[in-house]
Structure 1
Amino acid sequence: NIFLMLQKFSISNKCCSFELHIHQSMKLLQSPGMLLYSPLSVSYNGKTCILFRARKLAIRYRNHSLVDLTERTFSPDAPVDTKGSFCSKDKAILNLRFGDVEDLRGLSIRLQMSNTFYESAGQNWFTLDNVYIHYNWTYEAMFNATDVYAPSTNSYHCQHVSSLQKYDTLLVPSANTDHAASWHITFTDFQIQAFNVQSSKFAAASDCATFFTPAILMGLITSLILLLVLAYALHMVVHLKHIDRYEEHKTTVYFPRSTEAESTEKNNL
């Protein structure tokens, strides 16, 4: 009986531990910044034209505390206002108006995109030209984002689109304003599509994490140069060994002396 009671107690503890683990995991997934919300859908003239999603959207002004705008943007009851967004064949604007957030008044974020045909590629590509932060009703910070691009038939995805150097600085403060340098903005697990939206789902994603990054490309070029130098050195060593072997096995050539030369030597003697 005692053995059965101990066994039941052990099983009960394991079940409780398992349930606690599941509860904590679900709570972690539901915490802000961890839950991947449905894409934000923007319509223009009655047609869906922009899809946008990020696992986390955070901004910081100077040394102030970090402001997380994820739930304000993507949760089902998000208060974000997308009025002012615009779509056409070659231009698109995603306008996210948040209103008053903590110490910031009239906060809004605007993403400006363009769609251009390139003859060399034979297709249209869309580019995220600029990201703007409007605050306190009058101030504006502008970031250049021309490294964010993809074919127009695809969506664009990147793990981080940020103004921070540790995330490759895809958002570069514009030289035309000194306000952008005071801001940090980071989109985590960023995905957007602004042209050729066919449904409420993203098209195939063009990811920013390409194999031939500048660092990898320089490494490959350096490795190729070293291999060429090594191959040339080995070739020279083999060639020198071949010459040495030829000198060792070379036979002495005998030229018979004429009778006149022999008689001349005898007379001299």
Structure 2
Amino acid sequence: MTASNPFLSDSHRGYEWPVHQSLTQGSLPAVGTLKRTIRKLLQASNPTPSTPSTPFSPLKLTENGKTCILFWAKKLIVKLRNHTHVDLTDRAFSPSARVDLKGSSCSEEKAILSLRFGDVADLKGLVISFLLSNTYYESTAQSWFSLDSVHILYNRTKEASFNATQIYAPAVSSYHCQHISSLHKYDTLLEPSSHGDDSLLWHITFIDFQIQAFNVEGGRFSPASDCASFFTPAILMGLLMSLILLLVLAYALHMVLHLKSIEQLDEHRPAVYLESEAESEPGDKGHAGQ
């Protein structure tokens, strides 16, 4: 989408709307049937509450008297490498928050959430923007929304852009993830968009992240589709240890059965020896008489 898009604010003009890497028009989202089933099972067994149980309420964008975007995070931290480290949580979500949502907008297909923090530390005019899209897929007979990219604008003219990967959910749900970050230790769901801007100099992290930009009802989050993967490192380690213990148990059972067979063989050996010895005695006596 070019700069002529009516949803782009002045701060976003001059670059194209990024194409989400894992979603293409008319195709399935980049998630298999198994992964979608696991996500639904996780949602059913441990649903994310529709309203976060924290002191701060979700950030709301309202248009025409109706809430169209909800956003919340337990922690929102940005860091300019080897320089500025800023916790923006209070500025974004506290009752006395000074964040400005100017430039945000929403429709049935596109949404922009623009958080204008003003001057923070030595960063002038800090703005964090989320670009989201909503697409209908015939193969699943439902719409899916995705977070396409996150942008950091600072010092009036400088920008760092991050492409979002695998951040999507059914449009009737909200999306929740324990960590959304550009750091490798958090699976890097936000990747620097290019080497030409300042994105490589920045790290951005959201803890307990939740967002919904479409089909918001009653000003509350819908039940969340969670990013939790079935095969987490802890689960994989547990499966590996279980396999090792199973192999040890199988080897131990094999050795026990082998020892029992040896014992049974030893018990029968004396009887066989005596019987053969008894059969050979008459012959031996006959030879002795001759």
TM more than 0.5: yes
Normalising by structure 1, we get a TM-score of 0.67
Secondary structure in structure 1 of the residue aligned to 2:132: strand
| Conservation of the 8 A alpha-carbon contact between 2:100 and 2:115 | yes
For residues 159 and 192 of structure 2, the distance between their equivalents in structure 1, rounded to whole angstroms, comes to 11
For residues 66 and 232 of structure 2, the distance between their equivalents in structure 1, rounded to whole angstroms, comes to 40
**1:64, CA displacement in angstroms?**
3.3
Q: Which AA in structure 2 matches 1:67?
A: V
Secondary structure in structure 2 of the residue aligned to 1:142: strand
Q: Which AA in structure 1 matches 2:172?
A: T
Match of 1:66 in 2: 85
Is structure 2 residue 107 aligned with structure 1 residue 87?
yes
For residues 170 and 159 of structure 2, the distance between their equivalents in structure 1, rounded to whole angstroms, comes to 30
Residues 153-187 of structure 1 deviation map (CA, whole Å, 9 limit, x = unaligned):
33233444333455554433334545112112233
**1:66, CA displacement in angstroms?**
2.9
Of the two, which has the highest radius of gyration? 1
Name the % identity. 46
**1:238, CA displacement in angstroms?**
2.0
| Conservation of the 8 A alpha-carbon contact between 1:95 and 1:111 | yes
Residues 11-34 of structure 1 deviation map (CA, whole Å, 9 limit, x = unaligned):
xxxxxxxxxxxxxxxxxxxxxxxx
- 2:246 is aligned, of 214, 228, 244, to 228
- 2:232 is aligned, of 205, 214, 217, to 214
Distance 1:200 1:136, change over 3 A: same
Is structure 2 residue 123 aligned with structure 1 residue 104?
yes
Structure 2: 5+ residue runs without aligned partners? 1-53
For residues 148 and 244 of structure 1, the distance between their equivalents in structure 2, rounded to whole angstroms, comes to 61
- 1:155 is aligned, of 167, 174, 185, to 174
How many matched pairs? 230
- 2:265 is aligned, of 231, 247, 253, to 247
Residues 31-89 of structure 1 deviation map (CA, whole Å, 9 limit, x = unaligned):
xxxx8332222235664221112344332323333334345433456341332433324
For residues 160 and 170 of structure 1, the distance between their equivalents in structure 2, rounded to whole angstroms, comes to 9
For residues 80 and 121 of structure 1, the distance between their equivalents in structure 2, rounded to whole angstroms, comes to 37
Normalising by structure 2, we get a TM-score of 0.62
- RMSD across aligned positions (CA): 3.8
For residues 143 and 241 of structure 1, the distance between their equivalents in structure 2, rounded to whole angstroms, comes to 64
For residues 139 and 272 of structure 2, the distance between their equivalents in structure 1, rounded to whole angstroms, comes to 68
For residues 80 and 103 of structure 2, the distance between their equivalents in structure 1, rounded to whole angstroms, comes to 24
Q: Which AA in structure 1 matches 2:80?
A: Y
Write out aligned runs for 1:1-269 (5 A): 36-44=55-63, 47-74=66-93, 75=95, 78-89=98-109, 91-116=110-135, 124-165=143-184, 167=186, 169-208=188-227, 210=228, 212-250=230-268, 251-252=271-272, 254=275, 269=290
For residues 164 and 36 of structure 1, the distance between their equivalents in structure 2, rounded to whole angstroms, comes to 27
| Conservation of the 8 A alpha-carbon contact between 1:81 and 1:98 | no
